């Protein structure tokens, strides 16, 4: 089953790194690495992702330093993080507390959504700020897992 290429993926896992541009572009066009095909294989350079169905790689313009770079990565969707993002988006839509449109929410990353939450929390009264801080600290939610 092929993915819906119109959906912009926000979370990626690296499957190959240290690639030159020619190798990266060939992998992108073939949607394969050394004979192994992928439902969705994108390429990334310095944080910018080129995703099939979103970007026409043959029409993109690249700077010389990008073409000469050996820092290209072949990436595939991080399905676990995409599922978390989907759930987070649904929570925001269901609660309607950010006053963001569903379309805007659908184009936000986890980080974007978190910053929208912080904006809402900044407008809370001091009692609610205390309750939130207490919950975060008592449950050690500030610690990395």
- Give 28-46 pLDDT, tens digit per residue: 999 999 999 999 999 999 9
Check pLDDT > 80 for residue 3.
Answer: no
pTM over 0.75: yes
Three-class HEC string of the chain: CCCCCCCCCCCEEEEEEEECHHHHHHHHHHCEECCEECCCCEEEECCEEECECCECCCCCCCCHHHHCCCCEEEEEECHHHHHHHHHHHHHHHHHCCCCCCHHHHHCCCHHHHHHHHHHHHHCCCHHHHHHHHHHHHHCCCCCCC
So what's the pLDDT on residue 6? 62
């Amino acid at each position: 089953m092929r993915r819906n290429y119109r959906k912009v993926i926000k979370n990626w896992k690296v499957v190959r790194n240290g690639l030159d541009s020619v190798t990266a572009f060939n992998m992108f066009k073939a949607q394969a690495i050394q004979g192994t095909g992928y439902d969705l294989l994108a390429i990334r350079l310095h944080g910018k992702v080129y995703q099939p169905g979103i970007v026409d790689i043959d029409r993109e313009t690249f700077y010389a330093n990008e073409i000469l770079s050996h820092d290209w990565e072949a990436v595939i969707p991080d399905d676990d993080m995409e599922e978390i993002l989907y759930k987070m988006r649904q929570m925001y839509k269901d609660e309607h507390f950010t006053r963001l449109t569903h379309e805007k929410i659908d184009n936000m990353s986890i980080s974007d959504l978190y910053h929208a939450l912080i904006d809402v929390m900044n407008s809370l009264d001091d009692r609610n700020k205390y309750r939130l801080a207490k919950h975060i600290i008592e449950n050690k939610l500030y610690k990395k897992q």
